[in-house]
Structure 1
Amino acid sequence: MNRPLFTLLAAGLSLIPVLAVAETLPLPLTGPAYVAANEAYSAYERKDYDLAIAKAREALRQRADVTRLNTLIALAERDKQLRDQPRTAASGRAAAAAPGFVAANRGFKAYDREQFGLAAQSARTAIAQAPRRREYRLLLIDALQRQQQLEAADQAVTDALGTFANDNTLLLRRQAIRRQLAVPPAVQGYRALEQGNAVLAVTQARKAVAWAPEVAANQQLLISALLAAKDYPGAEQAASAALARDERKAAPWILRSYARDRQGKAQAAQTDVNRALALKGLSASEVRDIQLFAADAALARGEPQQALNQLQALGNDADDAIASRRATARAALRQKSKGLDSVVQAPPPALDCQESPFGLTCAIWPGTVRDAGTAPASQAYAALARKDPAAASALANQAVARAPQNPAYRRLLVSALTEQNRLPQAIAAASEGLQAHGDDARLLVMRGRLRQQVADEDGARDDFSRALALGSLPAYEEAGLYAAIGQRRTARERLQEARSNGELASASDLQLAYISVQAGDDESAHAAFRKADASHRLPPAAAQDAAYNAMRVHEDDEAVAYFERVIDGQKTAESPMSKQQLFDTRRAVGDISRTWGLTSTTSYRGNSSSGLSAAPNSTSSGSESNDLLQNSTELSWRPLGYRNARFVELYGRVTDTLWSKNSDSDTGADALQGALGVRIKPFSSVNIMAAFERTFPLGSSNVDGDWLVRLGYGSSIGTDLRVDVPSWWTSQLYAEVGHYINDSRDYFNSEWQVGRSYAIGGTGSRWVAFPHVVAAIDYDSKMKSNNSGGFESGDAGGIGVGNNVRYWFREDAYNAPRSYVDFSLQYRARIFGEERAKGVFARLTYSY
């Protein structure tokens, strides 16, 4: 769902991700909320304050995020009071003029029409007239940001802080804007560093740090650029500044250690290495890299024995980087024993960054960034970018074979295999990487996500827990992992921490939406999807994700609108859905938009219930045969909508016995009964339903009314129509227990059908046959005693075979078939209990 973001993070070479979320700007008003708000402003201008207040509150009800409407309400209430209290009108006349309001009103309307230039111009006018109106300042800032006039927006924030000192909202807004401003110079600085232009790299890096000094990648870039320029004192100073902000990252310690070493500060340099090694949450590969740094530094100081001591802890000559350094140290030691110079030139730690919409995601590597696997790895990244995962897999395998010590190549291989949908091989590659490098947080996360896809939930939870225990992932990523292991409260806390500490300051609205989905924060995801769609219309895949998110926050109309756009977009989509995926999307539209339902079931023998739509006839007695024909017709209504399959239904039902073999039984008008009730489906993913209803006589029936409590459970596979195959396996289980309160009567009935469905006429037909085997059990406490005073068991169970024929209809371009007619015929043999368990059973159902 959020593949662009998480594939980048998985494949990237990052020890220190630098993500930041763009400031959440108010969405322009649209639809009914816009109409109500516009009417509110117009009413205020006409001095119709009561209408202005009512319309503003209605707009707020639909769009609670548009807090500026509270200002309008306050002004309208104040001016209404001034109008209705003549004694204070004279003194309040000046206040009633509301300086700046007319211009601000024009600006807010322009913003809602996405005329951001006019909004900014109007906001400036309003501020000039009323400089202490904070909402006018925010309107100007928002309008400038919408136009990407970031430096002007930053100046507007600075001006506002001159009036509203230490205002937290303004301070956070300034931080977010400056993080955005830092991205272009950071990218330009890194490109200059790659091209060997150290002077330009330093200049651009200083600009990036000036805008956003708290962003770790900007600090790393500046230190690396200063090292490349051989300005070691400057690099040490820059590293110290980075550590003053955050000393929990290894990179600044290592970079400062190198800068100090170049200045002859050997003891201070070693202290920095030791501090880096003492950090909590380091992976085995990070510990390895730090020890390689230490070995390089010792070799550069002419201390080969110390280098060997550092390498001794690693103890793996199969690792090319370790073996080559060990050989160099031994050769230098032999030279030193002969009185010859043993100093080895060591390059500075290499900075490797990935450019992304977030800015830079950077890592430092021991020595030069190039190793034996660099060339094929670079080609593999390019192959992934051009959507050629097969070539990327082959090249990544080459990179791993040439440089097995580099964990980044393992992640690259896993990403390439995942893109090919070779999930078992990708899991195996991740496991090999973890075996080679120890617990690596990113490899653990990648393997956990893969295990989720193959339904290995226990394995996924284990991987995510191990990754979290390392403590080396950014807060926003930890939020997604906590959500995946069921700790949703902690997930939301970590996501809020990510927002507060600036990890998300440069993420786009769409990326924010996916991050929030991963963390289980559906409300934030919903707001981010809406913002992203307002800025740039979402493509079909993202619109579908937004639709499911809207479902989860109970915005049914919005979910339907997104789904319809997805369906419309299939005509021009580069990668259109399969026929079944498109059908499932249309099915979702039908399910969400349904508010009314009508079901009529006519059954011969046995119970006719399905989904709490009927109950045993309260007129039946223990002595009666079940050779009868009954009808149950029900009308239902969902007053609160679909609510992500956690709906409430009000229903009314009429039940009648049309014919009975027992001549003493009531039929027709004498057996007519009604019921009114409410049922609740409390869980989205579990088909449990509870109902409470009142039954009462209709027609000439003399049966007493009663209260009925019911609980039902259903589980099904393959009961919906398929349009991609001619046949498919189908299973459906239904069980219900109920209690008549006045009659002190209990009942239970269940039915389980298993078979294979066949599209009559071939794939895509709306006619379906379902031959199946059936098992049914029912119990009725009223059947324990008969009219002769005898005793019966009250239960009955049977097994048999049957066939259903169903015709689906009532569909359109956006809705899958919403209605069907179904005829079922079964024969069952009794396996225990009473004789009513055997014989022929038939049922005709019409569902609208």
Structure 2
Amino acid sequence: MNRPFLTLLATGLSLIPAFALAETLPLPLSGPAYTAANEAYSAYERKDYDLAIAKAREALRQRADVTRLNTLIELAERDKKLRDQPQPLAASRPASAAPGFVAASRGFKAYDREQFGLAAQSARKAITQAPRRREYRLLLIDSLQRQQRLEEADRATSDALGVFANDNTLLMRRKAIRRQLAVPLAIQGYRALEQGNTALAVDQARKAVAWAPEIAANQQLLISALLAAKDYPAAEQAAAGSLALDDRQAAPWILRSYARDRQGKLQPAQADLNRALSLPGLSPSERRDIRLFAVDAALARGEPQHALEQLQTQGNDDSDEVTRRSGAARAALRQKNKGPNSLAQFPPPPLECQESTFGLTCAIWPGSSHDAGTALASQAYAALARKDPATAVALANQAVARAPQNPAYRHLLVSALTEQKHLPEAITAASEGLQTHGDDARLLVMRGRLRQQSGDDAGARDDFTRALALGSLPAYEEAGLYAAIGQRRTARERLQEARASGELASVSDLQVAYLSMQAGDDEAAHAAFRKADASTPLTTTAAQDAAYNAMRLHEDDEAVGYFKRVIDGQKTAEAPLSAQQLFDTRRTVGDVSRTIGLTSTTSYRGNSSSGLSAAPGTSSSGSESNDLLQNSTELSWRPLGYRNGRFVELYGRITDTLWSKNSDSDTGADALQGALGVRVKPFSSVNIMAALERTFPLGSSNVDGDWLVRLGYGSSIGTDLRVDVPSWWTSQLYAEVGHYINDSRDYFNSEWQVGRSYAIGGTGSRWVTFPHVVAAIDYDSKMKSEAGGGFSSGDAGGIGIGNNVRYWFREDVYNAPRSYVDLSLQYRARVFGEDRAKGVFARLTYSY
């Protein structure tokens, strides 16, 4: 039996994002969290601010979702400051509770005792005293919803939006409330339609659509009720309204086609069916059902020849449904019956809905009959919509058992198992479906995605390749699959074909952005993110993806803007970032926005020759002991910005030997040198830096200027601050090779540190200590000499132990700490080469 045409993409599945938008009402406090919160409010009322803050934080530790306690902490800290450090203008004004807070605290306590009527009454009083306190308005809305006083809750939400315009939480709450208001109306309308009371069905459906027009099931009900009442002009108008909201689903096109056909608008009716057939994502079975529906329309109009022409598109299909229609068309031709058949022979597509507390889950069935699994599948879709995947799996298994030849039920089963996080079982179900139905593009794609998540990249690639070979997927979906198998050029070509053919018109701008990113077309993704954001502000997750996309295009200011929105949106985000993820985002803001840097390092090398620690261009005997204190201060500028980590820096440096144990060495003004240069970091993900600089004497230094070419490499793990753990492993390696052109002098130096960093004072502290082991190697061709019968190799290597203490500072809401002071102390033992490899090494670094 042919698979029935399920319009669940237009009805049932549309409930899933609808319910995802609806916020869960905050649960009343109970147990220890309730006790702590109650004590916090009481302490605040008697002006014991320290206890109020402590108790509120304890309650938050146990119930982090009760964000209203943050307001209590904020007010307690404010009033404590006013009490302990009164300002001149406020000195004569005694500290008192914030306006409305006493009433609100009573309301919060009542809410936690599930006395929602009293909570609403207290919230109204608090709002009167402090109308711009958003949490008081949310308390009123929550309390009214808990009492199912939904129309009052809707008015309260609208009042709140009058004060907090475009507040995303309030907008979502109002949408959720209105959907709740629509549920009983839609259910009553469907029951009336089943009982043949079309007038009541139309009335209730209109009310449901008025409350929640974005729910496709409500629109389906209204159109079907108007068709049942044979009010075809009104049905056509209702279908047009549904299409104005979303024209990417087949159901409203089919229903409007029927309404137009019944009015004799044959060309527009056929145009609607053609549009339904052209929608991306339809399976061959779905296209077959629409064509059979067109055959029924032709037979009803008395056009058997046209019906036969439509049937010829079915090829070798010898199913009962095709055979029955072919026989009817040929019989009509033989009888030369050119008059239209009765309307009863072409009824509107039947509507079948399943009721739930979330509303209706509906399907229409054009061109085919129900099968034994239809009712069970509808219930399974309803279970998925209400986030009950276990029930959906059980029902989908029953539907498959009753109608094993219907691939839609296999798709449903795989989706339900995936939602249940049972990936191996979902892969098995997809494989069984493919064995039963042969290569099915949808099942192949579903199994491929599951294999990807399971780490089976080779299996995923095979599934995607087989799905692409079938050629039945929309071009934009094929683009995503080509990107997944690494053929990004082909992915971009397919995406461009979809854009040129108008196929992307039915795809959201945000989806286009992600498809473009997968295909490696960052410029197209950037434009699509902008367009999506202009129509509906991006979620925090999408804004973060848009930020990284902008970074790759060197749109630094725009990237920073997106990242700041991500940071601002954490309080209302459905899936907020962890503390470390938020810190890393703030670190990225600082890195991308930085254009100027200042670093000053003062270093001490005990029992060492001057070598590379001396100012470039100086010389000293490699065998001579020389304790040195040097300073190097550098100012840098990035004229082109961050460029996704491939930046160019112009820099200037001043180097001086402040003190030397060797009296023959130049110090102070005699050792003062400068340098101007440019360095380039050519790769985003590899820390390689190339530099060219001109060194020159300053002060009374008599060292000749020179040209220096440098190449450096660095690799590090755990060198940045962590805010989620008290300690972490740390490793940092740096190596540099350089050549002085005029002096024909080569050098190399490297240092590798491995140890464990500890936050001094615990997790989140800005003080960090880093005990470590160190290995260092350096070489200087100028120190390679033969003198007095001895030989100096010019190289030196040592290992030892050390400790760094670093303090991070200069941070704000959007930027992680951008500056630090670091004190490093090491002792190294010589392993090979010159004696300069051993001794005490100290560095004090200031980085701005």
Q: Is the TM-score greater than 0.5?
A: yes
C-alpha distance in structure 2 between counterparts of 1:234 and 1:834, whole Å: 102
**Greater mean deviation of Cα atoms: 495-504 or 399-408:** 399-408
C-alpha distance in structure 1 between counterparts of 2:633 and 2:451, whole Å: 47
- Give the partner amino acid of 1:700: S
Aligned partner of residue 505 in structure 2, secondary structure: coil
Aligned partner of residue 704 in structure 1, secondary structure: coil
The answer (yes or no) to whether the contact 2:606–2:839 under 8 Å persists in 1 is no
Offset, 1:445: 4.8
Aligned partner of residue 544 in structure 1, secondary structure: helix
Map 1:597-676 onto structure 2 (within 5 A): 597-605=597-605, 617-621=616-620, 623=622, 624-625=624-625, 627-676=627-676
C-alpha distance in structure 1 between counterparts of 2:428 and 2:606, whole Å: 53
CA RMSD of aligned residues (A): 4.9
Task: Provide closer, same or farther for how the CA distance between residues 684 and 470 of structure 1 changes in structure 2, counting only shifts above 3 A.
Answer: farther
- Give the partner amino acid of 1:694: R
Specify the alignment match of 1:549 in structure 2.
549
C-alpha distance in structure 1 between counterparts of 2:427 and 2:841, whole Å: 50
TM-score, length basis structure 2 = 0.58
Offset, 1:512: 1.8
C-alpha distance in structure 1 between counterparts of 2:593 and 2:548, whole Å: 14
The answer (yes or no) to whether the contact 1:737–1:747 under 8 Å persists in 2 is yes
**Greater mean deviation of Cα atoms: 650-659 or 460-469:** 460-469
Aligned partner of residue 792 in structure 2, secondary structure: coil
C-alpha offsets along residues 19-71 of structure 1, whole Å, 9 cap, x if unaligned? xxxxxxxxxxxxxxxxxxxxxxxxxxxxxxxxxxxxxxxxxxxxxxxxxxxxx
C-alpha distance in structure 2 between counterparts of 1:821 and 1:636, whole Å: 18
Offset, 1:543: 1.8
C-alpha distance in structure 1 between counterparts of 2:666 and 2:719, whole Å: 36
The answer (yes or no) to whether the contact 2:656–2:668 under 8 Å persists in 1 is yes
Task: Provide closer, same or farther for how the CA distance between residues 651 and 574 of structure 1 changes in structure 2, counting only shifts above 3 A.
Answer: same
Specify the alignment match of 2:291 in structure 1.
223
The answer (yes or no) to whether the contact 2:253–2:273 under 8 Å persists in 1 is no
Specify the alignment match of 2:127 in structure 1.
none
Task: Provide closer, same or farther for how the CA distance between residues 215 and 243 of structure 1 changes in structure 2, counting only shifts above 3 A.
Answer: farther
The answer (yes or no) to whether the contact 1:235–1:256 under 8 Å persists in 2 is no
Aligned partner of residue 636 in structure 1, secondary structure: strand
Specify the alignment match of 1:710 in structure 2.
710
Map 1:21-40 onto structure 2 (within 5 A): none
Specify the alignment match of 1:335 in structure 2.
none
Map 1:17-416 onto structure 2 (within 5 A): 183=247, 186-189=250-253, 206-209=270-273, 214-215=278-279, 217=282, 220=288, 222-227=290-295, 231=299, 253=315, 261-262=323-324, 370=371, 378-387=378-387
Specify the alignment match of 1:327 in structure 2.
none
The answer (yes or no) to whether the contact 1:240–1:256 under 8 Å persists in 2 is no
C-alpha distance in structure 2 between counterparts of 1:827 and 1:545, whole Å: 46
* Residue correspondences, number: 575
C-alpha distance in structure 1 between counterparts of 2:404 and 2:772, whole Å: 55
Task: Provide closer, same or farther for how the CA distance between residues 264 and 389 of structure 1 changes in structure 2, counting only shifts above 3 A.
Answer: closer
Q: State the identity as a percent.
A: 75
Specify the alignment match of 1:532 in structure 2.
532
Greater relative contact order, per chain length (Cα 8 Å cut-off, separation 6+): 1
The answer (yes or no) to whether the contact 2:298–2:306 under 8 Å persists in 1 is no
The answer (yes or no) to whether the contact 1:638–1:649 under 8 Å persists in 2 is yes
Task: Provide closer, same or farther for how the CA distance between residues 772 and 558 of structure 1 changes in structure 2, counting only shifts above 3 A.
Answer: same
Offset, 1:212: 7.4
- Give the partner amino acid of 1:578: S
Gaps of 5+ in 1: 1-7, 14-178, 245-251, 269-349, 353-361
The answer (yes or no) to whether the contact 1:675–1:694 under 8 Å persists in 2 is yes
Aligned partner of residue 505 in structure 1, secondary structure: helix
- Give the partner amino acid of 2:569: G
Specify the alignment match of 1:340 in structure 2.
none
- Give the partner amino acid of 2:774: V
Offset, 1:260: 6.0
Specify the alignment match of 1:758 in structure 2.
758
C-alpha distance in structure 2 between counterparts of 1:768 and 1:813, whole Å: 21
C-alpha distance in structure 1 between counterparts of 2:836 and 2:386, whole Å: 67
C-alpha distance in structure 1 between counterparts of 2:516 and 2:499, whole Å: 11
The answer (yes or no) to whether the contact 2:289–2:368 under 8 Å persists in 1 is no
Aligned partner of residue 183 in structure 1, secondary structure: coil
Offset, 1:809: 0.7
Task: Provide closer, same or farther for how the CA distance between residues 515 and 221 of structure 1 changes in structure 2, counting only shifts above 3 A.
Answer: farther
Specify the alignment match of 2:810 in structure 1.
810
C-alpha distance in structure 2 between counterparts of 1:453 and 1:540, whole Å: 23
Map 1:585-600 onto structure 2 (within 5 A): 585-600=585-600
Task: Provide closer, same or farther for how the CA distance between residues 693 and 367 of structure 1 changes in structure 2, counting only shifts above 3 A.
Answer: same
Aligned partner of residue 805 in structure 2, secondary structure: strand
Aligned partner of residue 715 in structure 2, secondary structure: strand
C-alpha distance in structure 1 between counterparts of 2:579 and 2:308, whole Å: 57
- Give the partner amino acid of 1:187: A
The answer (yes or no) to whether the contact 1:622–1:784 under 8 Å persists in 2 is no
C-alpha distance in structure 2 between counterparts of 1:585 and 1:763, whole Å: 18
C-alpha distance in structure 2 between counterparts of 1:782 and 1:575, whole Å: 60
C-alpha distance in structure 2 between counterparts of 1:789 and 1:439, whole Å: 84
Offset, 1:684: 1.6
C-alpha distance in structure 2 between counterparts of 1:433 and 1:226, whole Å: 29
C-alpha distance in structure 2 between counterparts of 1:201 and 1:518, whole Å: 47
C-alpha distance in structure 1 between counterparts of 2:839 and 2:417, whole Å: 56
The answer on 1:500 being equivalent to 2:500 is yes
C-alpha offsets along residues 66-111 of structure 1, whole Å, 9 cap, x if unaligned? xxxxxxxxxxxxxxxxxxxxxxxxxxxxxxxxxxxxxxxxxxxxxx
- Give the partner amino acid of 1:531: K
The answer (yes or no) to whether the contact 2:587–2:817 under 8 Å persists in 1 is yes
Offset, 1:817: 0.9
Specify the alignment match of 1:843 in structure 2.
843
C-alpha distance in structure 2 between counterparts of 1:644 and 1:588, whole Å: 10
C-alpha distance in structure 1 between counterparts of 2:303 and 2:740, whole Å: 85
**Greater mean deviation of Cα atoms: 833-842 or 391-400:** 391-400
Offset, 1:614: 9.9
Specify the alignment match of 1:737 in structure 2.
737
Specify the alignment match of 1:677 in structure 2.
677
C-alpha distance in structure 2 between counterparts of 1:479 and 1:532, whole Å: 20
The answer (yes or no) to whether the contact 1:227–1:259 under 8 Å persists in 2 is no
Specify the alignment match of 1:691 in structure 2.
691
The answer (yes or no) to whether the contact 1:622–1:786 under 8 Å persists in 2 is no
The answer (yes or no) to whether the contact 1:182–1:209 under 8 Å persists in 2 is no
C-alpha offsets along residues 87-142 of structure 1, whole Å, 9 cap, x if unaligned? xxxxxxxxxxxxxxxxxxxxxxxxxxxxxxxxxxxxxxxxxxxxxxxxxxxxxxxx
